[in-house]
Amino acid sequence: MNVLVTGGAGYIGSHFVRMLCERGCEVAVVDDLSSGHADAVPPQARLTRARVGDRAAIASVLAECRPDAVVHFAGLIQVGESVRRPDVYWAVNLGQTLALLDEVVRAGVRTFVFSSTAAVYGSPEQVPIPEDHPRRPINPYGATKLAVELALADYGRAFGLRHAALRYFNAAGAHPSGELGERHEPETHLIPLVIDAAMGRRGPVGVFGDDWPTADGTCVRDYVHVQDLAEAHWMALEELQRGGASMTLNLGTGRGVSVREILQAVQRAAGHPVPHTVEPRREGDPAELVASPRSASERLGWKARCSDIDTIIGDAWRARASRR
């Protein structure tokens, strides 16, 4: 298979690109390296530094690599930043994606996989969350991802673009080799922050509220290993390439893990307590976000196989330790 991957130098994208290369695919990567890292892209993949909204650059790459499919990871992901800079998020996450879609359709590509998010649901009315749950995003990040999902449905009807919108819950972990992992600058994700605190690389990590209506009072999230996410993209690609119908799927485990349980898991890995402080709740944080992964299992046969929390923490620890 010949695949074009946008955002393939980023966290999840680089894991997927590595998987594609290991499975013998021809891979082209487009990434502007604003948050990705060129050294995360395997040497056998061709990297073009460009924005996905650069129509000329995208058209050139599509003409040269003639992909069977496009997988779109590129985009902005910080919820808080999206509230402060909605103009940027709408321009990048929606505007540049529409430019990409236009060039993809013009090039005759008819298979497209999109990196969506559980943020399209907003504050859930039920847990676990099924795909038909009302979509009421509470921040511009989630709203821009939902807008792309709606555009994909329209492009599918108008141009025959078979697509998969994969709604991630909390991506976590790292490649088992320790060679790939989270390298956000600044880091905002809980698990690498807790690991860095345990390693003495930062001060105490903040826990935002211990009075939530959950079993231990801290927020609960559904953490899914980045390798499991990469596998889901592969399985969605294969299904679409076989002529399967477009799909929208949750990617999660169906099991919630609290912030306190994350602290305990990192403590087990470190052999000592993790320094932390309890801070006020953050406005807009749901108490609990847990996926129903039933549709992904039924449609693709996908199941999160390495997403137990100790495996996630162990792999993430190894990757953080390799960064000096």
Quote the CA–CA distance of 180 and 41 in Å, as a whole number. Answer: 10
Cα gap 304→36, rounded to integer Å? 25
In angstroms, what CA-CA distances link 219 with 5, 49, 121, 139, 268?
Answer: 33, 38, 17, 18, 20
- Give per-residue burial for 116-155: e unless 16+ CB within 10 Å, then b: bbbbbbbebeebbbebebebebbbbbbbbbbbbbebbeeb
Angle value at C-alpha 53, between 245 and 7, nearest 5 degrees: 65
Catalytic (active site) residue 121: no
Contact predicate 213/256, CB 8 Å: no
Q: Which of 11, 89, 121, 141 is catalytic?
A: 141
Catalytic residues: 141
